[in-house]
Amino acid sequence: MQNTNIVNLLKTFSKKELNEFEAYIKSPIQIRKRDVTSYLKAIKKFYPEFSSPQFKDEKIYQSIFPGKKFDKARYTLAAYHLFDAACDFLIVLNSRENEIEGSFSLMEQFLKRGMTNSFEKLAKKLDKELIPEKLSLDSYFYLRFKYEDLLMKYHSENHNYDSIKKYYDYKTNSSAGLFLLKSLRAMMNNYIFEKSYNSEENILLFEKVVNATDLDSIFSRTDNEPYLKILLTDYYLYKAIYDDGKEDRAEKAEEYFFKNMDLYSREEKVIIFRELFNLYIKKSRETSDPEKLKFYDQKHFDLTKKLVENDLSYSRKDKYMRFVLFRNIVLTALDVKEFNWAEKFINEHSDKLKPSLKNSMMNFSLAELEFRKGNFEKSLEYLSQVKYDSFIFKRDVKLLLLNLYYELEFTEQAYFALDNTRRYLKTTSDITEEEKIMDYNFLNYYKKLLKQREIPDEAEIQVCINEIKKIRNDIETPDWLIEKFEKLLTGDIKTVD
């Protein structure tokens, strides 16, 4: 029972949604279609975990069909009907939440039934809602196109030829705006996929169209083009990702975004923040200059602070903050040694995480914090409480564990964890090829580090330091490895007998 579709679905419901669902299935129309009220009543008491020892098929069956002998087929059919009702409810819930799509449907009905005044009133009302300050840009361009297409049909039926041409032009501009937005973001995403996943490209048509489009010319003047003005941040982001040799592209994207934040909806602000993060992560990974690395790490953190200060760590559509974003915010602060800020963020924002991930994310974050502060035993204590079912946690925990075993001089455990991590990398498909290369390189020098601590060889240690510096962009935590090797050189660490 615990792993059935209906239970897994109900686990995702909020209390409010569960109560609304109960009211929904009690409506006369739903009861005539299928009466599933007794089934929901029987299992609702076990919400939200549905994991009580009393939560057994036979007991639930007796609550639904008192005095009847357990019939697996009948019980399964009842579960199916409840799941079917829950799916219908989600459709209703979605249409209720998406008023704009509902308005479009109503406008189409008014147009079909010749209700001119009702159509025009709803069109005027909807026009005020379809603005970039209230929608993500892809929704904005798409919905404006849909709206203008409906207005064009309306004026066509009423033979208003001037208005037909006007809304045709509007529709064409909306289509062009959507094409530019999707193209800019597709090119950025394609670059990331290509670099991170070594994926094969299958976008020949798209590439031909984009290569034939002079984006620089299009965005050379944006003063009198409102659509281009709101796309300018994406244009600079695209230029910065492909890095045409001009270092100011990233700064321009950031500067323009913050200068014109009022042009964008909350939803769009969240999206652009994420794109800016990806940009600075890319630049940090690609530079071999320590000073530039510090600069990009600091820029990344400054951006992170603005994200949190503007309460944009998750969109209105997201029920919870994405745990990957939470993790990245913490690690970004720790990279620039903002320990107090990181601790404050962990304590004040962990309640925004999905409950099933909250404790593990908090413990992992605190483990990283204590590790960076040099409190290795405390870090290990926190790390031992992480349930790393997610692939993100598996990789993170394994790498941090290796660092801790070395710092705590748990040599036997370090070698065991080393072998265990190699096996994980060979079998997992949950991380990118780029990450695997970085991890394998780390494991290679980690093993050498362990051996050098046992029997130090000054010349070999120096070779390792020089090699790590050469591949610092292709190895995990290069600075930590270099620091440990250098301590062996200076004798600032105990060797293992």
Query: Helices (DSSP H) in 389-432: which residue ranges?
Result: 391-407, 411-427
Burial class for 16, CB neighbours closer than 10 Å (0-12, 13-18, 19+): exposed
Kindly indicate the confidence band of residue 222, based on its pLDDT and cuts at 50, 70 and 90: confident
Number of domains in the chain: 3
pLDDT in tens, 7-18: 999 999 989 999
Q: Select from 286, 317, 334 the last residue of a domain.
A: 286
Q: Does residue 440 lie in a domain region?
A: no
Percentage above 70 pLDDT, the chain? 93
In this structure, the answer to whether residues 135 and 91 fall within a common structural domain is no
Q: Are 379 and 396 in contact (CB under 8 A)?
A: no
Return the pLDDT at 195: 63
Return the pLDDT at 198: 55
pLDDT in tens, 351-365: 999 888 899 999 999
Burial 213-228 (b: 16+ CB within 10 A, else e): eeeeeebeeeeeeebb
In this structure, the answer to whether residues 278 and 347 fall within a common structural domain is no
Kindly indicate the confidence band of residue 317, based on its pLDDT and cuts at 50, 70 and 90: low
Kindly indicate the confidence band of residue 433, based on its pLDDT and cuts at 50, 70 and 90: confident
For residues 89 and 186, give the distance between their C-alpha atoms in angstroms, rounded to a whole number.
34
Q: Select from 286, 306, 322 the last residue of a domain.
A: 286
Query: Helices (DSSP H) in 26-157: which residue ranges?
Result: 28-33, 37-44, 57-64, 72-97, 99-112, 116-129, 137-157
In this structure, the answer to whether residues 137 and 152 fall within a common structural domain is yes
Q: Does residue 475 lie in a domain region?
A: no
Return the pLDDT at 244: 54
Return the pLDDT at 410: 96
Least confident range of 273-277, 337-341, 413-417, 419-423: 273-277
In this structure, the answer to whether residues 31 and 149 fall within a common structural domain is no
Q: Does residue 119 lie in a domain region?
A: no
Return the pLDDT at 315: 66
Q: Does residue 424 lie in a domain region?
A: no
Please provide the DSSP assignment of 272-311 as one string: HHHHHHHHHHHHHHH---HHHHHHHHHHHHHHHHHHHHTT
Kindly indicate the confidence band of residue 28, based on its pLDDT and cuts at 50, 70 and 90: confident
In this structure, the answer to whether residues 256 and 298 fall within a common structural domain is no
Q: What is the CA 405 to chain-centroid distance, rounded?
A: 31
133: helix, strand or coil = coil
424: helix, strand or coil = helix
**pLDDT beyond 90 at 146:** yes
Q: Select from 72, 97, 122 the last residue of a domain.
A: 97
In this structure, the answer to whether residues 63 and 12 fall within a common structural domain is yes
In this structure, the answer to whether residues 149 and 93 fall within a common structural domain is no
Domain extent, residue 314, equals 291-387
Q: Does residue 204 lie in a domain region?
A: yes
Residue appearing with tokens 């050379």 = 220
Return the pLDDT at 127: 95
In this structure, the answer to whether residues 245 and 355 fall within a common structural domain is no
In this structure, the answer to whether residues 270 and 305 fall within a common structural domain is no
Q: Does residue 374 lie in a domain region?
A: yes
In this structure, the answer to whether residues 271 and 303 fall within a common structural domain is no
In this structure, the answer to whether residues 58 and 156 fall within a common structural domain is no
Q: Does residue 121 lie in a domain region?
A: no
**pLDDT beyond 60 at 197:** no
In this structure, the answer to whether residues 233 and 353 fall within a common structural domain is no
Total number of residues shown for the chain: 497
Kindly indicate the confidence band of residue 241, based on its pLDDT and cuts at 50, 70 and 90: confident
For residues 382 and 384, give the distance between their C-alpha atoms in angstroms, rounded to a whole number.
5
Return the pLDDT at 246: 61
Q: Does residue 342 lie in a domain region?
A: yes
Return the pLDDT at 497: 45
Q: Are 448 and 461 in contact (CB under 8 A)?
A: no
**pLDDT beyond 70 at 248:** yes
